[in-house]
Amino acid sequence: MTDTKNSTAAKRARLIEIVKARSFQEGPEMRLASGKLSTFYFNMKPTMLDSEGAHLIADLILDQLDGVDADLVGGLEMGAVPIAASVTAVAHTRGRKLPAFFARKQAKEHGTKSLIEGLGPGETMAGKRVVIVEDVTTTGGSAIKAAEAIRASGAEIVRVITIVDRQDGADDAFKAANMDFRPLLTLANFKS
């Protein structure tokens, strides 16, 4: 158990270094997706699309999912797409089948007109146990929106995992929505 804890702590420490170098900035106030203003800003795409960053994120998410019965991993476009893709690939190297999906913000107006992408022909979300992932969580609104679409399709949300929780109300929002919310990192990891 100690080796796993040390390994997880080392992975978290390295991920913090990468996020600080590639995805975090502190300075003048910026408006966040939630509409709130903050002097701390995370653009996680440079970390999520970095080979080491993507691998660490996937590893840490899969470490959190040890012993969790889940059928799919994904979330709302666009933030969840690179995370879910990395998690499903690394899951395969661990001998775990955990396919990825993503929920569109709006259904396509052509082709299958799907709201949820990644399912094979004849597959549905009905009865699936799903892990929602996202890059940065402020109030939880984006992940809760994805969860509503996924629940409406008949799936059960077994966990919500974010790379960074800005610690601005998401924990309470997920509790109110009866969802198990777990951040890999929090804003406290980045404040001087």
Q: How far apart are CA 97 and CA 94, in angstroms?
A: 9
Instruction: Tokens for 143, please give them.
Output: 């992940």
Q: What is the domain partition of the chain in residue ranges? A: 2-189
Q: How far apart are CA 24 and CA 152, in angstroms?
A: 35
Per-residue pLDDT at 109? 63
Per-residue pLDDT at 1? 47
Per-residue pLDDT at 108? 58
Q: Write the pLDDT tens digit of every residue in 131-170.
A: 999 999 988 887 887 788 889 889 999 999 999 999 989 9
Q: Write the pLDDT tens digit of every residue in 87-122.
A: 999 999 999 999 999 988 766 565 555 778 899 999
Domain 2-189 has CATH 3.30.200.20: no
Sequence-distant (≥ 6) Cβ neighbours of residue 155 within 8 angstroms: 72, 125, 126, 127, 128, 129, 130
Q: How far apart are CA 110 and CA 99, in angstroms?
A: 24
Secondary structure letter of residue 163 according to DSSP = E
Per-residue pLDDT at 34? 72
- Contact yes or no for 185/156 (Cβ under 8 A): no
What DSSP letter does each residue of 98-143 carry, written as one string?
--EEEE-SS--SSTT--SEESPPTT--STT-EEEEEEEEESSSHHH
- Contact yes or no for 164/136 (Cβ under 8 A): yes
